[in-house]
Amino acid sequence: MKIRIKFSKTGPVKFIGHLDMMRYFQKAIRRAGIDVTYSGGYSPHQVMSFAAPLGVGLESQGEYFDLELNSFTTCDEIKTRLNTAMAEGIQILSVRILPETAGNAMASVAAAAYEVRFREADLPQFDWKPKLVEFLNQQEIMVMKKTKKSMKELDLKPFIFSFEIKEDVILFLVDASSAGNIKPSLILQAFMEQNQQSLSEFALLVTRMETYGYRDDKEQRELIPLEEIGYLA
Amino acid sequence: MNKLALKEEILLRVEKPARYIGSEINSVRKDRADVAVRFAMCFPDVYEIGMSHLGIQILYDMFNRREDVWCERVYSPWVDLDAIMREEKIPLFALESQDPIKEFDFLGITIQYEMCYTNILQILDLAQIPLLASDRTEDDPLVIGGGPCTYNPEPIADFFDLFYIGEGETAYNQLLDLYLENKRNQKSRRDFLLAAANIPGIYVPLFYESSYHEDGTIAQFKPTVEGVPATILKEIAMDLTNTCYPEKPIVPFIKVTQDRVVLEIQRGCIRGCRFCQAGQIYRPVRERDVEKLKEYAIKMLQNTGHEEISLSSLSSSDYSSLQELIDFLIKECSEKKVNISLPSLRIDAFSLEVMSKVQDVKKSSLTFAPEAGSQRLRDVINKGLTEEVILQGAKEAFLGGWNRVKLYFMLGLPTETEEDIRGIAELSNKIAMLYYETIPKEERKGKISIVASTSFFIPKPFTPFQWSPMNTKEEFIDKAYMTRTAVMEQLNQKSIRYNWHEADVSMLEGVLARGDRKLSKLLLKVYEKGCMFDAWGEMFKNDTWIETFEELGIDMDFYTTRERALDEVLPWDFIDCGVTKQFLIREWEQAKLANVSPNCRVQCQGCGATMFQGGVCFEN
């Protein structure tokens, strides 16, 4: 049986990288005494799949991974047990059972919602909000994106699904599938450049609010939080 | 949520920021207002190395069991953060509270190897604590050193207020109580140090001085004040089973060197290899009860979630209940899907059987440490491993499916000849030949791979070789070259890879290992010139060290290549580690005759450790 686990990552633990988070959860699952399935061989490992890696320095309210279990009690009981094994700043938000047909967390990722703000010292020195709306409403948003080998010109527009500006906070819903995977910093960097400004490397405070997949329905491609692909029991 | 000492912009700029954030599982957080003593425990190297050290985990646990003490950790900031902290004048902080170290009552530093000495200065400097103990005031933390290097603390004596000689489990509570009493009575730092100097195992360098002969050797070492002991007897935990042991060790977020549960099964070693300091200073051998170890194994795996468990000791094969412990672990761990790692096992039928159960034979290699290439030289160093035993072990291993062998040797051992050096290559070749003789062509899975490594022998205090001259750098390099040439002349040279250690850093380690107080000013100077992380090859600035020796008129050869007379006052003579000088002299004489001394269980050699009234000395 496969379960999908949703967690948040806030505070100092945001400086822990993705690989270390995976190691952290492997140990936490042991501490929590979850009856997880192991692969065979001399160094057996837990059968788990993480949704979308979160960069160092980013916080999140919507991280996911899937876990294969040998036996199951209830979603609530597993959630409680895991939470007693957590470090400060990491919290299990939900545990759901995945239907047999569901793809794994990583393959299911389609979009992510981000909350972005400028650090106080890095607030743009111009009236940036209307300019940003104007920028995001262009027909196309051409940027240079670094690939492994070279720089490539890319239109960001189709990857930005929606945006909203609330006071000093910018909300983005962007493509996070393996084909797109747009980082909010890339958008804002392009914006600042278009306004003849530069964006310093650590200017943004970014929180991933949710990670989305598509509802398993060929008629209607609707984005839903990854947890909603699973069900409670 | 804990407030961090470093700004986010800084953490995002440095490599592995998780080194500096604390908050790990099982780390201890207390309320500042509830404790009377703040103790910062330091390993002066990067987090990944420091977090792998068992001694700190033990003391951290022991101190934090006291309600009135909060013990926290601090490690060396890597050079990237070091530069930022200097630039922005950020004081070094402890991981748990993120408070500056300079506000603490104690800074305890474990000193595990000589090449970390400049890192000690980095820690003090970044903490904004005066480097010299004599410059510190009532407001500065008390800086206390512990660990194996304190068996000759003299080269770093000027930087420490106190040293704790021996095992920490026994006298620390007394020291902390004394500190609290001193504070209650509003007495001074000096009052505390004077009283502390009378606690067993505590050495306060301020109250002692050396005078020197014209040739630079020590004329006399003695206390400068009344009422402090002339010799310091090491502290030792005789009832190992009932000393405290961390059942909930800290689980780091990032991958550290020792990323597993560590069970310390015993302390000390019965073998008495003559080059080995640990084999002497931790005498007598004391075992932990096997039932207690089983209990710890279960609790520690449960409390950490680690996926691997390892045994720790100088020679695990000598632990009397090893079979029982391993059978238990194999059973427990296969259920829990935990890996077992078994270092320091002698290769024999038993260990091969165990290893084939716990590791993938195809991926693992066999390790032998003959230390010397010929039987004669192995007898000189009292390494009771014979060629016959090595070849027998290797043969059984080949039949069991192994085809990778690692061999460890030393170059520059006392009495070494060209023949001994050639022996390294010849033994490697014999093992390769044995593989081809033992395993028929059609059954071979790939060819045999032998990796022979040599390090350079450095005489250490409290060993029978403490009087021995060390080789010169040129001799070392010639010998490494000679070894390489000899390897290339072997029939199976294509199956043998030869590695050797850097000579420069060995020479410095040689100076510091048997150094005296005159070296403190050298350390200060090289630190001021930017030396630190000397144990990290890419950071080591040999030229700066050499140039500083010349500037200060300090002769390296005095400390390294000079043969000491048996009646010379050695800088560490004021420490009593239980093993007597007469015993060490006897062993030094036996070494020169290539006579082997039996191990503690075969026949007592009268080393002196019986004075501790326990352990292997009283087994029967």
Would you call B555 helix, strand, or coil by DSSP?
coil
Between chains, do B23 and A12 touch, taking CB under 8 Å as contact? Answer: yes
Mean pLDDT for the stretch of residues B165-174? 97
B363 has a chain A CB within 8 A of its CB: yes
Interatomic CA distance for residues B525 and B540, integer angstroms: 15
- For residue B85, pLDDT beyond 90: yes
Which pLDDT tens digit goes with each residue over B294-311? 999 999 999 999 999 999
Between chains, do B303 and A31 touch, taking CB under 8 Å as contact? Answer: yes
B304 has a chain A CB within 8 A of its CB: yes
Run of H or E residues at B484: helix B473-488
**Contact between residue B397 and residue B366 where contact means Cβ atoms under 8 Å apart:** yes
Considering the segment(s) A111-213 as one domain, its CATH architecture is 2-Layer Sandwich (3.30)
Please tell me the distance in Å from A31's CA to the nearest CA on chain B: 5
Length of chain B: 620
What is this model's ipTM? Answer: 0.93
Between chains, do A42 and B363 touch, taking CB under 8 Å as contact? Answer: yes
Please tell me the distance in Å from B523's CA to the nearest CA on chain A: 35
Between chains, do B23 and A89 touch, taking CB under 8 Å as contact? Answer: yes
Q: What is the pLDDT of residue A218?
A: 64
Identify the band that residue B2 occupies on the pLDDT scale cut at 50, 70 and 90.
Answer: confident
Q: What is the pLDDT of residue A180?
A: 81
- Give me the percent of chain B exceeding a pLDDT of 90: 92
Within a 10 A sphere around the Cβ of A148, how many other Cβ atoms?
Answer: 4
Which pLDDT tens digit goes with each residue over B508-517? 999 999 999 9
Pick A146 or B268 by higher pLDDT: B268
For residues B148-176, b (16+ Cβ closer than 10 Å) or e, as one string? bbbbbbbbbbbbbbbbbbbbbbbbbeebb
What is the rounded (10 degree) CA torsion for B176, B612, B239, B237? Answer: 30
Between chains, do B254 and A89 touch, taking CB under 8 Å as contact? Answer: no
Between chains, do A27 and B17 touch, taking CB under 8 Å as contact? Answer: no
Q: What is the pLDDT of residue A143?
A: 87
**Contact between residue B63 and residue B134 where contact means Cβ atoms under 8 Å apart:** no
Mean pLDDT for the stretch of residues B17-22? 97
**Closest residue, chain B, to A28 (C-alpha):** B305
B184 has a chain A CB within 8 A of its CB: no
Between chains, do B305 and A27 touch, taking CB under 8 Å as contact? Answer: yes
Cis status of the peptide bond prior to B284, with omega within 30 of 0: yes
Which pLDDT tens digit goes with each residue over B408-459? 999 999 999 999 999 999 999 999 999 999 999 998 888 899 999 999 999 9
Task: State the span(s) of chain A assigned CATH 3.30.70.580.
Answer: 2-108+223-229
- For residue B146, pLDDT beyond 80: yes
Q: What is the pLDDT of residue A217?
A: 63
Chain B residues touching residue A26 (CB < 8 angstroms): 305, 307
Pick B366 or B480 by higher pLDDT: B480
Between chains, do A20 and B359 touch, taking CB under 8 Å as contact? Answer: no
Interatomic CA distance for residues B248 and B615, integer angstroms: 27
Q: Using the Cα atoms of residue B28, residue B32, residue B36 and residue B42 in order, give the sign of their dihedral.
A: positive
- For residue B1, pLDDT beyond 70: no
Which pLDDT tens digit goes with each residue over B65-84? 999 999 999 999 999 999 99
Q: Residue B549 is encoded by which pair of tokens?
A: 């020796």
Would you call A67 helix, strand, or coil by DSSP?
strand
Indicate the CATH number of A2-108+223-229 among 3.40.640.10, 3.30.70.580, 3.40.50.720, 3.40.50.300.
Answer: 3.30.70.580
Would you call B46 helix, strand, or coil by DSSP?
coil
Between chains, do A57 and B8 touch, taking CB under 8 Å as contact? Answer: yes
Identify the band that residue B356 occupies on the pLDDT scale cut at 50, 70 and 90.
Answer: confident
pTM across the whole model:
0.95
For residue B16, give Cα distances in angstroms to A26, B13, B259: 20, 9, 16
- For residue B284, pLDDT beyond 90: yes
B23 has a chain A CB within 8 A of its CB: yes
Euclidean distance between the first and the last CA atom of chain A, given in angstroms as a whole number:
12
Of B14-23, B171-180, B386-395, which gets the smallest average pLDDT? B386-395
Q: Is B292 exposed, middle or buried (0-12, 13-18, 19+ CB in 10 A)?
A: middle
Tell me the residues of chain B between 213 and 252 that have a Cβ less than 8 Å away from chain A.
251
- For residue B344, pLDDT beyond 80: no
Would you call A96 helix, strand, or coil by DSSP?
strand
Q: What is the mean pLDDT of each run of 10 residues along chain A (233 residues)?
A: 97 96 97 94 86 95 97 96 97 96 91 96 92 94 81 90 94 91 91 92 95 80 92 88
Of B412, B458, B454, the C-alpha closest to B556 is B458
Q: What is the pLDDT of residue B394?
A: 93
Q: Is B365 exposed, middle or buried (0-12, 13-18, 19+ CB in 10 A)?
A: middle
Mean pLDDT estimate for chain B: 96
Q: What is the pLDDT of residue A204?
A: 95
Please tell me the distance in Å from B141's CA to the nearest CA on chain A: 28
Write the CB contacts of B48 (distance below 8 Å, at least 6 apart in sequence).
Answer: B19, B252, B254, B255, B256, B257
Within a 10 A sphere around the Cβ of A129, how many other Cβ atoms?
Answer: 13
Amino acid at B332: E
DSSP string, A118-183: E-GGG--SS-HHHHHHHHHTSS--EEEEE-SSSEEEEE-GGGEEEEEEETTEEEEEEE-SSS----
- For residue B385, pLDDT beyond 90: no
- Give me the percent of chain B exceeding a pLDDT of 70: 100
Interatomic CA distance for residues B457 and B460, integer angstroms: 9
Chain B residues touching residue A88 (CB < 8 angstroms): 1-2, 23
Identify the band that residue B342 occupies on the pLDDT scale cut at 50, 70 and 90.
Answer: confident
